[in-house]
Structure 1
């Protein structure tokens, strides 16, 4: 009789061990998923910070434009060192790496095809974690379905305060 009871207890212990391993596996999977979401959220916040820098640089370039010249730079390189002035004039410190793709390549919207840079955007087609509750400066980004739809343009200081 004691042999039969021992087998029954061994089966119960084995079943308990399988359930425990399954629970640990599910908890690990949930932790990894949450870590991934947190990492993407941080990358999106970095993208917003970099987008603000590009937006400010485009506006700085436009504000410094002499009368009669186009207010958009021909490329992002002109934001690094403005060739319109004899001295060194910078609107942007460096071309940033896109935190969503990991590359230095950005999507650029040009005025009339290829004349001047109007907007900069990430080339990532990922769905954003953040879809609302943006700061007033980025209120137009709410509800976008892809990161590549987040466009960063020159915004004058007076327009930014009225939004």
Structure 2
């Protein structure tokens, strides 16, 4: 009996198509993981930026004088519209949601000082663990985004910058001299 050559290769075409689908699935899975990592890094960078905006707005609220002295910040919404002023004073352009969760922030309060800061409500582990800007070195080694607290009352001191020029060391910090004899 004579076999037709096209009928004998039908199974091979099916296997080749199946292998192509499997390879494409694996490649899409790898690309999806890379895309997720990129998006997580962007959300983390946005968290640092938005947290800085809130911290600076709280500092501005604290330092903005209205005659009766500094009134504690009682509601985070007051950063977008200051009720202490008859003018349209905005310490923050708009109220930003938490970039990690997309929800409201965890508010850090003190009974006497009012709102001290904000933190993400996410329990996810941060991608960035080191090499933070000078204002956020306290974030190094934190295990959750909720431990990243953007507070107006905690600003770490900046390190004095030193440079070496032709063997001479210079510094921007004040130099103490001992009194003469």
TM-score of the aligned structures, taking structure 2 as reference length:
0.70
- The secondary structure found in structure 2 opposite 1:120 is strand
Q: Are the aligned partners of 2:66 and 2:85 in contact in 1 as well (CA < 8 Å)? A: no
Q: Distance in 2 between matches of 1:160 and 1:57?
A: 19
Structure 2 residues not aligned, in runs of 5+: 161-181
* 1:77 Cα offset (Å): 2.1
Q: Distance in 2 between matches of 1:160 and 1:93?
A: 27
Equivalence map 1:1-163=2 (5 Å): 15-65=15-65, 69=69, 72-103=72-103, 105-112=104-111, 116-154=114-152, 159=156, 161-162=158-159
Question: Cα gap change, 1:81/1:13 in structure 2, threshold over 3 Å: closer, same or farther?
Answer: closer
Q: Are the aligned partners of 2:72 and 2:115 in contact in 1 as well (CA < 8 Å)? A: yes
Question: How many matched pairs?
Answer: 160
* 1:106 Cα offset (Å): 1.0
Q: Are the aligned partners of 2:47 and 2:98 in contact in 1 as well (CA < 8 Å)? A: yes
Larger Rg: 2
Q: Distance in 1 between matches of 2:126 and 2:154?
A: 26
* 1:16 Cα offset (Å): 4.9
Larger relative helix fraction: 1
Q: Are the aligned partners of 1:58 and 1:72 in contact in 2 as well (CA < 8 Å)? A: no
Question: Cα gap change, 1:7/1:142 in structure 2, threshold over 3 Å: closer, same or farther?
Answer: farther
Q: Distance in 2 between matches of 1:131 and 1:23?
A: 35
Structure 1 residues not aligned, in runs of 5+: none
* RMSD of aligned Cα (Å): 3.2
Q: Are the aligned partners of 1:81 and 1:88 in contact in 2 as well (CA < 8 Å)? A: yes
- The secondary structure found in structure 1 opposite 2:108 is strand
Question: Cα gap change, 1:119/1:156 in structure 2, threshold over 3 Å: closer, same or farther?
Answer: closer
TM-score of the aligned structures, taking structure 1 as reference length:
0.77
